[in-house]
């Protein structure tokens, strides 16, 4: 294996890790929210702090949602390429 192949593999691994970052972020945020829910959400009387907490949760939710859309698009394109020539057309009624 030469230097070019090693560099290509390293870039592919970094790209894969970067693409899975939204999933990891959502998992960590969920674990933290569940572990510290009394401390985080027990007293929401301080309105600015409560607003910051909920905006942070909303931001994490949006990052995870875009990650899901990216994965769904990849699965759909893979599925379409697999079934494009193997699926017979259904007869029209």
* Residues listed for the chain: 93
* Distance set, CA 20 to CA 26, 30, 56, 83 (Å): 10, 16, 19, 26
C-alpha Rg value of the chain to the nearest Å:
21
Q: What is the mean pLDDT of the chain?
A: 80
- Rounded Cα distance, 28 and 42, in Å: 20
pTM across the whole model: 0.60
Mean pLDDT of 31-55: 91
Model confidence over 20-41: pLDDT tens digits?
888 888 889 989 989 999 988 8
For residue 36, the model assigns a pLDDT of 92
Q: Which residue has the higher pLDDT, 8 or 65?
A: 65
Percent of the chain past pLDDT 70, that is, above it, reads: 88
Kindly state the average pLDDT of the residues 62-89.
75
Decide: residue 57, CB within 10 A, 0-12 exposed, 13-18 middle, 19+ buried. middle
């Amino acid at each position: 294996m030469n230097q070019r192949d090693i560099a290509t593999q390293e870039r592919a691994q970094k790209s894969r890790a970067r693409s899975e970052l939204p999933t990891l972020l959502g998992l960590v945020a969920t674990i933290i929210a569940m572990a510290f829910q009394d401390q985080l959400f027990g007293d929401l009387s301080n309105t600015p702090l409560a607003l910051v907490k909920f905006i942070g949760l909303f931001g994490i939710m949006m990052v995870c949602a875009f990650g899901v859309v990216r994965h769904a698009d990849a699965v759909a394109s893979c599925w379409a390429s697999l079934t494009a020539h193997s699926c017979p057309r259904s007869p029209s009624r």
